Structure 1
Amino acid sequence: MSTAIIIAGGVGKRMGQDIPKQFIIIEGKPIIIYTLESFQNHPQVDQILVVCKSGWEDTLWAYVNEYKISKVKWIITGGSKGQESINNGVQFLKNHCSEEETIIIHDGIRPLVDELVLSDVIVKCNQYGNGVTSLPYNEQIFIKQTEDTTKQYVDRNTLRRVSTPQAYKFGKLLWAYDKAIAENIGMSDSSYTNTMMVDLGETLYFAAGSDKNIKLTTVEDLELFKAYLKMKK
């Protein structure tokens, strides 16, 4: 059995909008609904928990009902940062999931996750205990010597770009968040489940990724999302 935790607790200051970016309407539909539809339509996803920005829970329930996202079983309130929101979801599921259940974590503002990517994350998790979406890194990375100079670069063949979806067995996920919070490991503003797991000494397993799986952070990202939607049509 697989349960998805969709993180929709952010504000999105860089988007410059009056409402949280996951609720912005694109082509007549909220961004969060595009994301939820990908999970609704995937045959290996059984149920969905959405961790929502405080004060927007009723709005989200209304959209879930309007668009018939029947796999959404729960909507709970998020925290002040991403890791707090994910932990809220993990702790909530203690009474709803077994230790061997596959938990898929995904950003609500990545609305273009496709079936192949989601399937491979689940497969890797069932094989190895976790799976993280990844892609090769195709740009050159240099290390700053001073603010304006460099003499050192990183071999891009040693790098992978990791994003969401990510999948973990629930028992390991619960253990990791309990330990991370108790010992203040991997819970900074820039941390996520994958970085926290590595900070705790865990080995991660790469799953397939897609360049279309963009994170909507700026107004320019919205235009790119609209272009992808037109391509699909």
Structure 2
Amino acid sequence: MNPSEASSPPPRALATPRYAIIVAGGSGTRMGADRPKQFLDLAGEPVLVHTLRRFTDPELGVQELVVVLPAEQLAVWAAICAQHQVGPHTVVAGGATRWASVRAGLAQLARHASGVVAVHDGVRPLTPRTVIEATYQAAHNHGAAVAAVVPKDSVRNLSQQGSYALNRARLRLVQTPQCFDLDLLRRAYQLPELSTFTDDASVVEDLHAITLVEGDYRNLKITTPEDLFVAEALLRAMRDPVNE
């Protein structure tokens, strides 16, 4: 998406409760870092602090925000929150897999009867509010919605004979947030965990069709050192009034 296309959010005309689960269970392995990637410095603050701010934006109206972290990182996060301005949220310990961590986040929302819940990667700190809003809205209308973008590069599929080209116009790169009717996501996570689950949409899709929402190329997932450099540059550009 061109940044100019995300200049104004779609109108909000719904009163459905909104919740969010931020899953931050990564490590610094691929980063070659001395700490988990969600705690790495991005423009003076930890990556996860930037991510949370995207969902504590009052314009979104998120009623409860749950952060899922490995148990051994809870004290580190408490110290970070004491140093930085972080909005209201609840912290829970995650599990051995992403599936288990999302399930732990859902358990924290057990007292809520209905609503729309977003599941978001803790290391996607630059998600534009317009993308988050559009995904919430689409999930309200259709039950399940995922932000995604068209691949920029040509894509090939491997086969026993070598490889063959795929039509990238029919492919999408999946991002987060991924938003769902709360009851639908609960029902999906009552099913057994499978090795084929790669994200929340793959957990839900046997129960419900997934609607795709236009994502944003700035909504990168910080996984390697190069991603952090790019995120720094993008964050500077997004803060520049000329680029708003």
If the length of structure 1 is used for normalisation, what is the TM-score?
0.88
> Separation in 2 of the partners of 1:140 and 1:208?
19
User: Residue 167 of structure 2 is aligned with which of 155, 173, 178?
Assistant: 155
Identity of aligned residues (%): 27
Q: Verify: 1:213 aligned to 2:219, yes or no.
A: yes
| Partner in structure 1 of residue 9 of structure 2 | none
By how many angstroms is 1:112 displaced?
0.3
Determine the structure 1 residue equivalent to 2:188: 176
Q: Report what 1:10 is aligned to.
A: 26
Cα distance between partner residues in 1 of 2:144 and 2:158: 33
Measured in 1, the distance between the counterparts of 2:210 and 2:183 equals 16
Instruction: Name the SS of the counterpart of 1:212 in structure 2.
Output: coil
Greater mean deviation of Cα atoms: 135-144 or 161-170: 135-144
Q: Which residue, 121, 134, 139 being the options, matches 1:120? A: 134
- Cα deviation digits, residues 141-164 of structure 1 (max 9, x gap): 2222348x32x3221121112110
Q: 2:99 aligned with 1:87, yes or no? A: no
- 1:47 aligned to which of 45, 61, 64: 64
Q: Structure 2 CA distance, aligned partners of 1:83 and 1:52?
A: 13
User: Match of 1:129?
Assistant: 143
- Pick which of 217-226 and 18-27 moved more: 18-27
What is the aligned partner in structure 1 of residue 3 from structure 2?
none
Give the Cα separation in 2 of the matches to 1:20 and 1:67.
18
Q: What is the letter of the counterpart of residue 156 of structure 1?
A: R
**Cα distance in 2 between the residues matched to 1:51 and 1:188:** 21
Q: CA deviation at 1:62?
A: 3.3
Which amino acid is 1:171 matched to?
D
Shift of residue 42, structure 1, vs aligned partner = 4.3
Amino acid at match of 1:101: G
Structure 1 stretch 210-219 or stretch 9-18: which is displaced more?
9-18
Check whether the contact 2:19–2:117 (CA below 8 A) recurs between aligned residues: yes
Q: Secondary structure at the match of 1:70?
A: coil
What displacement does 1:115 show? 0.7
Query: How big is the shift at 1:22?
Result: 0.3
Q: Which residue of 2 aligns with 1:227?
A: 233
The reply on whether 1:194 has 2:208 as its aligned counterpart is no
Q: How many residues align?
A: 222
Distance change >3 Å, CA 201–CA 141, structure 1 → 2: farther
**Runs of 5+ consecutive residues of structure 1 not aligned to the other structure:** none
Q: CA RMSD in A?
A: 1.8
Superposition deviation, residue 194 in structure 1: 0.8
